[in-house]
């Protein structure tokens, strides 16, 4: 640490250690690598901790700034950075470190970052050294703060006493009261008191006006905060309405897409539906033809089966004859068995065909029911889409009306706020003028009080000197009286003492009159 303030460049490790030592590190785990590597938020955090140790660096924007910015809440962070740069630049220029720009604060080069932090750390070392030199003096006066407060209170009491000091004071030990000033001084004091009494109503009036203006200013600030909160709530409601409108538009778009899909499936493709119906009809016709063919085949096979049954009956009738001729007609019997087996197989096939025909009939009926259901759903979707379109139009109309009402209300309130802002600015200007007049009157009165108090001290000193001289004269008179008593005897001394006592008081008054005239 040098005795003179200088800015030697320090290493990142030394800077990190110093920042932790003075409590300016943005994080508890700040390391030298974090300083060596470029970090945009490091320098703003360090200067914020140094310039605003309590963390309260928020300021309200004035009326001019609010009028200049359309959306002040969008510029809060930028204004905070600009305010921090202005204060950091003023501090660095005060320690003779110029050239600090906004780029150095937001995006500094690694070397520039080391230079700025080295300047800050060297200043802290310099300040610590100077405070260490002053520490013995501070330790020598441990209660200096309390003593300073006590002296300020005494000065205030003396100032109040100087505003209303008495015209006479008891000084002599035998409780004689003498006037403190001559006629001119008495007249000056009376003139000052008269002027103070004449100016007192005006001062009180100005004080009342100043107090009322301060109260009005506080009320205007409260109204401004309330109006700002109300404007924020209106903006939030507006954003909520816009969000609801966007959601309604999104739902409307989804419904429109679904409607278009349904139209593409149902309304916008009648040819596909007609083609599907024709295919179904063709399939149904094919099924009917197949059914007819199957019926014909069944009829033919039934006729064949009837023939076979008739033949079987005839064969049964002649079975007895066949038994006799069994060996002879064994080949014919085998053929009959084959024919019976074929008839049973044919019967099973006919049953299967009938079941298939019944299943296909059920499928055709289900397809007919689905066609009817699709027609019904198509009509319902058309009606629902029309209702949704009407509801959407009604919602859009209502929201447009509400939005227009909100816009008109916001414009009206904005005009009202502008008028109120102009009135507040005029009132503040009048208050500033009244403050300036009051300060001027206070300065003139204080100067007059100091002049009168100085004159009062001069008169008191002159009176003390004259009092000492007068005491000397009285002592000399007493010595002369004693010598006269010794010379003329007791009787003549009593006569002389009585006459001297009678003449002593006019002599003293005459002496004081000449002394005061000399003053």
- For the chain (519 residues), the mean pLDDT of every run of 10, in chain order, is 68 89 86 81 87 58 55 70 89 88 84 89 89 77 68 66 44 38 66 78 81 82 80 83 83 82 62 74 81 80 76 68 62 62 74 77 77 81 83 85 85 84 84 83 84 83 78 75 67 48 44 45
pLDDT of residue 287: 79
pLDDT of residue 513: 45
> 305-318: b or e for each residue (b if 16 or more CB lie within 10 Å)?
beebeeebeebeee
pLDDT of residue 515: 46
In a domain, 468, yes or no: no
In a domain, 391, yes or no: yes
> What's the token pair of residue 84?
């921090």
Q: How many Å is the Cα radius of gyration of the chain?
A: 60
**Same-domain check for residues 139 and 256:** no
**Same-domain check for residues 264 and 407:** yes
pLDDT of residue 488: 61
In a domain, 364, yes or no: yes
- Chain Cα centroid distance, residue 76: 9
In a domain, 1, yes or no: no
**Same-domain check for residues 147 and 269:** no
List the CATH number of the domain containing 119: 1.10.418.60
Give the C-alpha separation, 430 to 427, whole Å: 5
Domain C-terminal end among 94, 124, 151: 151
Is 408 exposed, middle or buried, given 0-12, 13-18 or 19+ CB atoms closer than 10 A? exposed
Cα–Cα nearest to 427, from 218, 124, 277: 218
**Same-domain check for residues 255 and 140:** no
Domain C-terminal end among 132, 151, 170: 151
Domain C-terminal end among 151, 185, 217: 151
CA-based max dimension of the chain? 222
Sign of CA dihedral 87, 91, 94, 97: negative
Question: What count of other Cβ atoms lies within 10 Å of the Cβ of residue 180?
Answer: 18
**Same-domain check for residues 135 and 262:** no
Q: Cα-flanking dihedrals φ and ψ of residue 176, to 5°?
A: -75, 140
In a domain, 237, yes or no: no
Overall number of domains in the chain: 2
Domain containing 143 equals 12-151
**Same-domain check for residues 123 and 260:** no
3-class secondary structure, 170: strand
pLDDT of residue 150: 74
**Same-domain check for residues 147 and 255:** no
**Same-domain check for residues 410 and 297:** yes
3-class secondary structure, 25: coil
- Do residues 276 and 283 lie in contact, with contact meaning Cβ atoms separated by under 8 Å? no
- Do residues 452 and 460 lie in contact, with contact meaning Cβ atoms separated by under 8 Å? no
In a domain, 387, yes or no: yes
Cα–Cα nearest to 320, from 309, 308, 329, 331: 329
In a domain, 324, yes or no: yes
In a domain, 28, yes or no: yes
Give the C-alpha separation, 479 to 485, whole Å: 10
């Amino acid at each position: 640490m040098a005795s003179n303030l200088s800015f030697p460049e320090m290493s990142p490790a030394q800077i990190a250690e110093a920042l932790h030592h003075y409590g300016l590190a943005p994080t508890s785990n700040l390391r030298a690598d974090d300083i060596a590597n470029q970090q945009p938020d490091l320098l703003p955090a360090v200067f914020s901790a140094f310039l605003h140790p309590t963390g309260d660096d928020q300021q309200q924007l004035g009326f001019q700034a609010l009028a200049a910015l359309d959306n002040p809440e969008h510029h809060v962070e930028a204004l905070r950075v600009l305010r921090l740069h202005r204060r950091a630049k003023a501090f660095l220029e005060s320690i003779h470190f110029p050239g600090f720009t906004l780029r150095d604060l937001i995006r500094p080069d690694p070397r520039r970052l080391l230079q700025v932090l080295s300047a800050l750390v060297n200043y802290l070392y310099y300040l610590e050294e100077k405070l260490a030199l002053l520490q013995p003096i501070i330790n020598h006066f441990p209660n200096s703060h309390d003593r300073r407060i006590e002296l300020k209170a005494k000065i205030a009491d003396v100032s109040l006493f100087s505003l209303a000091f008495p015209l006479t004071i008891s000084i002599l030990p035998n409780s004689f009261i003498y006037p403190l000033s001559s006629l001119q001084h008495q007249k000056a004091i009376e003139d000052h008191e008269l002027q103070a009494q004449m100016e007192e109503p005006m001062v009180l009036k100005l004080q009342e006006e100043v107090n009322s203006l301060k109260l009005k200013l506080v009320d205007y600030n409260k109204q401004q905060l309330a109006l700002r909160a109300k404007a924020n709530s209106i903006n939030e409601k507006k954003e909520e309405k816009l969000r609801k409108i966007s959601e309604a538009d999104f739902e409307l778009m989804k419904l429109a897409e679904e409607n278009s899909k349904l139209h593409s499936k149902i309304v916008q493709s009648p040819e596909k539906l007609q083609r599907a119906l024709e295919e179904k009809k063709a399939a149904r016709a094919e099924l009917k033809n197949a059914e007819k063919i199957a019926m014909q085949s069944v009829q033919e096979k039934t006729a064949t089966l009837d023939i076979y049954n008739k033949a079987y009956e005839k064969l049964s009738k002649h079975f007895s004859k066949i038994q006799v001729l069994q060996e002879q007609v064994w080949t014919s019997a085998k053929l009959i068995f084959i024919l019976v087996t074929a008839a049973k197989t044919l019967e099973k096939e006919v049953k299967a065909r009938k079941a298939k025909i019944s299943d296909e009939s059920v499928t055709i009926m289900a397809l007919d029911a689905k066609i009817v259901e699709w027609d019904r759903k198509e009509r319902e979707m058309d009606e629902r889409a029309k209702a949704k379109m009407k509801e959407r139009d009604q919602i859009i109309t209502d929201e447009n009306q509400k939005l227009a009402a909100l816009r008109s209300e916001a414009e009206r309130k904005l005009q009202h706020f502008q008028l109120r802002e102009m009135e507040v600015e005029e009132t503040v200007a009048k208050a500033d003028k009244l403050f300036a007049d009051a300060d001027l009157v206070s300065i003139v009165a204080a100067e007059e009080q100091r002049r009168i108090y100085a004159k009062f001290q001069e008169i008191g000193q002159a009176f003390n000197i004259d009092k000492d001289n007068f005491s000397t004269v009285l002592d000399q008179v007493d010595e002369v009286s004693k010598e006269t008593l010794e010379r003329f005897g007791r009787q003549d001394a009593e006569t002389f003492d009585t006459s001297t006592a009678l003449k002593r008081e006019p002599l003293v008054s005459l002496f004081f009159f000449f002394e005061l005239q000399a003053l």
